[in-house]
């Protein structure tokens, strides 16, 4: 029977409509169990009742009509207590109620099982018998297992059903939908759907004329490339040159040998062009999707966007001439940079995307343009929004569908408040991040290869606290040469000179495999990554170290950061290779300069050897993202456990405090380059714990500067002292939020 439950669950996973899925569940269950009838009740959160959504083989006419309350009858009992009940005679149970039209009086034997998703009962499975007898243990085990297996699929289908139902009401009401905040700001407008091109739904098909398919593919690639060039030209007036380089990155992808040759090879092996495009894009995207580093994982979105753009042309549906209303909210499954560039800047008010993250290039462009964006709106069929008015809160990650008059008034008031905040932040642009009592705090920026978020204000940054080099290695088919790396690093150091630039050495391996690597690991998150990988591949490591040392010659602002340090011999080996690279360059007559050396503290074991590490390095940088991930045993890329991934957990707070104290006892400075540094509340805590500098995404910098300038060091030390006495993250968040509000910075608060 357990096999049967898995088969039913798999069938449900392939359905697209809630009613179809639930009908399948009751029919299959009745055929497997010794039951006279099976039912599925679904929780209607809008009215806080349970609705009979499917019944077999009797009472099908009652579906949609029987609606027991959440505390009513045996269905309500099962849901409230989240427990299985197996009764020979339902009427004998204290929770029994004879609900109208339910047919309760007709049946006696009762088996009820809750369908639970993330701790909430979303439905109840019921099986009943006419005779007075309990269900067998096998039947109970089957039904319980089935309910367990159905939770996620039913939740997803239920979300789509609920949205469709509410949008199709005669007078559709307002709805609040939460996603990922990707670009701050507020806007209201009318939805405009992005170009439809679905790689996922592209079928397999045998190529009838291979050469024609190859030509069609190459023509589509050329059209997509021309479109990107045109988009870059259109956006030149709105974006700095460094940000415009994102278009060059897309062009590089669409021109890459790996992409073109991969697709052409598949066509020549018999697949038609669309199928070859689909398989090539998915293969390339999979390399990035498996990566633990969220910045690199987000590159999979860029690759899929390129695939969709080429598919549009393969479908012979090149972007049509469209008119865009004022205050257009561009919405789609994955909105691309190219699609954004098509909309006239004065008409684009916001972006809403079912998929995507704050680290995607689409989000980066939106932030650079000042366009509010919300992404990650999972479980939604975006086409259902057509014709709706939307308000978009890119700071909170909130979309309001069909806002009411009250919503609109409140929204306009918030827009005025945001404009006042923006004006306030603008006045701080050239002021130092200095506390009220005169302590100046260096705040640096995190950047990646390609200077993703450089802007016309980049010269005003105080330095680079984390420069990721992985993408330069991963977004290509071969290893970069020493000279290629030298030019990249040299330009970077010169751009920021004399300000410090901290370059993290190659942080790949395991979950972030190079495209040309053959490494496969069962648990890549705990595998050969970071320093473990580079020490295993000294040729790759030495090439990067040589390029960095050469780039630093005559400039002297380079700081090298070694990632994933977990033991002493790793830092010793890395420094030995750095010395070797320097000696080799000197012997060859190349100009080179040694940098300051840092160790990244993100593996818990490193915390306990900081005193020894301090005798070997010049500084420490705390990677709070991975440190939290490892301390709390939470995979931050797994949505189902995101509620457990909180860097204000007492363990994280105490470990960060220990790191700072141990480093300072050795007279070594400590910075933070993880997400904590870019959050106003967490930044207050870090300053109070004694961190020496903060590094964050450029978009976070103005608010952190504003926060620092509104507190004294005495105040933040007091907050840190109280936080160290708190035993849960919720109270710590509330403590910090209260401090922000008391300082008049309530607009920066992230509610617990």
Residues 251 and 372 in one domain: yes
The reply to whether 442 falls in a domain is no
What gap in Å lies between CA 286 and CA 61, rounded to an integer?
46
Is the model more confident about 317 or about 109? 109
CATH number at residue 118: 3.30.450.40
The stretch 107-131 carries a mean pLDDT of 91
Structure tokens at 246: 């994102």
Q: For residue 407, give the nearest of 427, 390, 423 by alpha carbon.
A: 390
Active-site choice (361, 444, 537, 629)? 361
Q: For residue 227, give the nearest of 317, 303, 341 by alpha carbon.
A: 341
Confidence of residue 451 (pLDDT cuts 50, 70, 90): very low
Domain boundary among 590, 619, 639: 590
Residue 136 in this model has a pLDDT that exceeds 50? yes
What gap in Å lies between CA 176 and CA 171, rounded to an integer?
16
The stretch 19-44 carries a mean pLDDT of 90
The reply to whether 411 falls in a domain is no
Q: What is the DSSP string of 115-160?
A: EEETTEEEEEEEEEESSS-PPPHHHHHHHHHHHHHHHHHHHHHHHH
Q: Lowest-confidence range among 81-95, 172-186, 340-354, 600-614?
A: 172-186
Backbone phi and psi for residue 65, each to the nearest 5 degrees, phi listed first: -110, -35
Residues 242 and 378 in one domain: yes
| Close Cβ partners of 578 (under 8 Å, ≥ 6 residues apart) | 545, 549, 560, 594, 597
Residues 76 and 112 in one domain: yes
The reply to whether 597 falls in a domain is no
What gap in Å lies between CA 383 and CA 366, rounded to an integer?
22
Is the model more confident about 387 or about 700? 700
Confidence of residue 441 (pLDDT cuts 50, 70, 90): very high
Residue 610 to residues 27, 559, 654, 669, Cα–Cα distance (Å): 62, 19, 15, 12
Active-site choice (182, 366, 400, 673)? 673
Q: For residue 425, give the nearest of 185, 733, 692 by alpha carbon.
A: 185
Residue 611 in this model has a pLDDT that exceeds 90? yes
Domain boundary among 404, 428, 447: 404
The model carries a pTM of: 0.69
CB 482 within 8 A of CB 496: no
The reply to whether 521 falls in a domain is yes
Residue 434 to residues 122, 462, 712, Cα–Cα distance (Å): 50, 13, 9
pLDDT attached to residue 298: 67
Our answer to whether residue 590 is catalytic in this structure is: no
pLDDT attached to residue 557: 97
What gap in Å lies between CA 477 and CA 485, rounded to an integer?
15
pLDDT attached to residue 85: 94
Confidence of residue 452 (pLDDT cuts 50, 70, 90): very low
Apex CA 671: angle with CA 667 and CA 676, to 5°?
145
pLDDT attached to residue 697: 80
Percent of the chain residues topping a pLDDT of 90: 38
Residues 680 and 749 in one domain: yes
Confidence of residue 197 (pLDDT cuts 50, 70, 90): low
Residues 215 and 361 in one domain: yes
Residue 429 in this model has a pLDDT that exceeds 60? yes
Residues 33 and 65 in one domain: yes
What gap in Å lies between CA 418 and CA 713, rounded to an integer?
27
Helix (H) or strand (E) holding 42: strand 37-44
Q: Lowest-confidence range among 307-321, 418-432, 619-633?
A: 307-321
Q: Tens digit of pLDDT for each residue in 566-590?
A: 999 999 999 999 999 999 999 999 9
The reply to whether 417 falls in a domain is no
The stretch 191-210 carries a mean pLDDT of 72
Structure tokens at 99: 């609900």
What gap in Å lies between CA 303 and CA 318, rounded to an integer?
19
pLDDT attached to residue 643: 66
The reply to whether 106 falls in a domain is yes
What gap in Å lies between CA 361 and CA 340, rounded to an integer?
11
Q: Lowest-confidence range among 47-61, 680-694, 729-743?
A: 47-61
Percent of the chain residues topping a pLDDT of 70: 84
Please tell me whether residue 514 adopts helix, strand or coil conformation: coil
The reply to whether 214 falls in a domain is yes
CATH number at residue 307: 1.10.274.10
pLDDT attached to residue 339: 78
Residue 456 in this model has a pLDDT that exceeds 70? no
The secondary structure of residue 99, as a DSSP letter, is -
Domain coverage including residue 61: 2-167
Confidence of residue 644 (pLDDT cuts 50, 70, 90): confident
Residues 269 and 358 in one domain: yes
Domain boundary among 404, 431, 453: 404
Q: Residue 427, by phi and psi: left (phi above 0), alpha (psi -120 to 50) or beta?
A: alpha
What gap in Å lies between CA 736 and CA 751, rounded to an integer?
10
Could you tell me the sign of the dihedral formed by the alpha carbons of 646, 681, 363, 471, in that order? Answer: negative
How many of the other CB atoms lie within 10 Å of CB of 591? Answer: 11
Q: Tens digit of pLDDT for each residue in 146-156?
A: 999 998 888 87
Residues 518 and 620 in one domain: no
Apex CA 174: angle with CA 173 and CA 178, to 5°?
145
Residues 281 and 362 in one domain: yes
Apex CA 233: angle with CA 228 and CA 237, to 5°?
135
Residues 569 and 519 in one domain: yes
The stretch 185-196 carries a mean pLDDT of 80
Q: Tens digit of pLDDT for each residue in 500-543?
A: 999 999 987 545 566 556 565 666 667 778 899 899 989 999 99
pLDDT attached to residue 41: 93
Residue 166 in this model has a pLDDT that exceeds 70? no
The gap between the terminal CA atoms of the chain, to the nearest Å, is: 44
Residue 453 in this model has a pLDDT that exceeds 50? no
Average predicted confidence (pLDDT) for the chain:
84
| Exposure class string for 470-500: b at 16+ Cβ within 10 A, else e | bbbbbbbeebbebeebbebbbebbebbeeeb
pLDDT attached to residue 527: 72
CB 60 within 8 A of CB 30: no
Residues 296 and 365 in one domain: yes
Helix intervals (H) in 497-567: 531-536, 538-552
pLDDT attached to residue 242: 57
Residues 625 and 579 in one domain: no
Our answer to whether residue 444 is catalytic in this structure is: no
Residue 620 in this model has a pLDDT that exceeds 90? yes
Structure tokens at 521: 């690991």
Q: Which residue in the block uniquely carries the two structure tokens 């204290």?
A: 94
CATH number at residue 574: 3.20.20.60
The stretch 324-350 carries a mean pLDDT of 84
Query: How many domains does the chain divide into?
Result: 4
What gap in Å lies between CA 478 and CA 517, rounded to an integer?
10
pLDDT attached to residue 147: 92
Could you tell me the sign of the dihedral formed by the alpha carbons of 686, 688, 693, 697, in that order? Answer: positive
Residue 545 to residues 87, 250, 475, 559, 600, Cα–Cα distance (Å): 71, 28, 20, 12, 17
The reply to whether 430 falls in a domain is no
Q: Tens digit of pLDDT for each residue in 476-486?
A: 667 889 999 99
């Amino acid at each position: 029977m357990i096999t049967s439950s898995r088969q039913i669950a798999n069938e449900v996973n392939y359905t697209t409509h809630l009613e179809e899925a639930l009908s399948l569940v009751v029919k299959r269950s009745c055929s497997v169990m010794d039951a006279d009838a099976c039912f599925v009740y679904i929780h209607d959160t809008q009215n806080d009742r349970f609705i009979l959504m499917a019944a077999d083989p009797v009472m099908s006419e009652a579906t949609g009509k029987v609606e027991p309350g959440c505390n009513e009858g045996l269905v309500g009992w099962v849901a409230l207590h989240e427990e299985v009940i197996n009764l020979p005679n339902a009427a004998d149970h204290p929770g029994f109620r004879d609900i109208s039209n339910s047919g309760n009086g007709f049946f006696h034997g009762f088996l009820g099982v809750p369908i639970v998703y993330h701790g909430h009962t979303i439905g109840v499975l019921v099986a009943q018998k006419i005779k007075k007898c309990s269900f067998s243990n096998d039947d109970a085990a089957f039904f319980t297992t089935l309910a367990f297996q159905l939770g996620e699929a039913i939740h997803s289908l239920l979300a789509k059903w609920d949205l469709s139902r509410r949008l199709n009401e005669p007078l559709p009401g307002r709805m609040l939908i939460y996603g990922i905040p990707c670009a701050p700001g507020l806007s209201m407008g009318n939805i405009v759907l992005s170009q439809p091109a679905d790689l996922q739904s592209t079928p397999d098909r045998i190529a009838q004329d291979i050469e024609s398919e190859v030509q069609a593919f190459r023509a589509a690639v050329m059209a997509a490339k021309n479109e990107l060039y045109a988009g870059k030209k259109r956006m030149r007036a709105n974006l700095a040159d460094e940000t415009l380089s994102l278009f060059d990155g897309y062009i590089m992808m669409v021109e890459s040998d790996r992409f073109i040759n991969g697709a052409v090879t598949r066509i020549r092996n018999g697949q038609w062009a669309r199928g070859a495009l689909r398989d090539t894009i998915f293969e390339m995207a999979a390399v990035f999707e498996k990566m633990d580093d969220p910045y690199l994982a987000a590159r999979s979105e860029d690759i899929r966007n390129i695939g969709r753009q080429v598919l549009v042309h393969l479908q012979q549906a090149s972007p049509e001439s469209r008119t865009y209303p004022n205050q257009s909210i561009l919405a789609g499954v994955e909105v691309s940079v190219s699609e954004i560039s098509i909309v006239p800047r004065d008409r684009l008010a916001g972006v809403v995307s079912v998929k995507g993250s704050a680290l995607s290039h689409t989000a980066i462009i939106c932030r650079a343009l000042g366009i509010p964006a919300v992404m990650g709106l999972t479980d939604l069929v975006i086409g259902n929004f057509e014709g709706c008015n939307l308000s978009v809160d890119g700071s909170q990650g909130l979309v309001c569908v069909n806002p009411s008059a009250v919503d609109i008034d409140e929204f306009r008031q918030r827009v005025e408040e945001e404009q006042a905040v923006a004006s306030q932040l603008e006045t701080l642009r050239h002021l130092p991040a200095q506390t009220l009592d005169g302590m100046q705090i260096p705040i640096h920026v995190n950047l990646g290869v390609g200077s993703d978020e450089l802007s016309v204000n980049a010269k005003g940054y105080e330095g680079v606290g984390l420069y990721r080099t992985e993408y330069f290695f991963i977004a290509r088919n071969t290893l970069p040469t020493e000279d290629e790396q030298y030019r990249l690093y040299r330009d970077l150091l010169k751009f920021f000179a004399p300000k410090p630039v901290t370059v993290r050495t190659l942080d790949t391996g395991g979950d972030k495999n190079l495209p040309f690597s053959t490494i496969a690991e069962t648990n890549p998150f705990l595998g050969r990554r970071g320093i473990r990988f580079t020490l295993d591949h000294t040729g790759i490591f030495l090439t990067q170290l040589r390029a960095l040392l050469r780039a630093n010659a005559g400039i002297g602002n380079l700081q090298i950061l070694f990632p994933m340090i977990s033991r002493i011999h790793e830092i010793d080996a890395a420094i030995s290779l750095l010395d070797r690279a320097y000696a080799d360059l000197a012997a060859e007559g190349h100009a080179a300069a040694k940098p300051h050396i840092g160790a990244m503290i993100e593996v818990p074991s490193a915390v306990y050897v900081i005193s020894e590490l301090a005798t070997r390095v010049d500084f420490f940088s705390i990677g709070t993202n991975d440190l939290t991930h490892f301390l709390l045993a939470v995979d931050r890329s797994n949505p189902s456990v995101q509620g457990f991934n909180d860097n204000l957990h007492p363990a994280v707070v105490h470990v960060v405090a220990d790191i700072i104290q141990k480093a300072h006892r050795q007279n070594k400075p400590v910075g933070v380059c993880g997400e904590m540094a870019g959050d106003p509340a967490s930044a207050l805590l870090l300053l109070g714990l004694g961190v020496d500098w903060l590094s964050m995404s450029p978009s976070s910098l103005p608010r952190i500067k504003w926060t620092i300038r509104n507190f004294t060091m005495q105040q933040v030390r007091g907050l840190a002292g109280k936080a160290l006495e708190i035993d849960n993250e919720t109270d710590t968040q509330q403590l910090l939020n209260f401090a922000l509000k008391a300082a008049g910075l309530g607009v920066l608060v992230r509610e617990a």
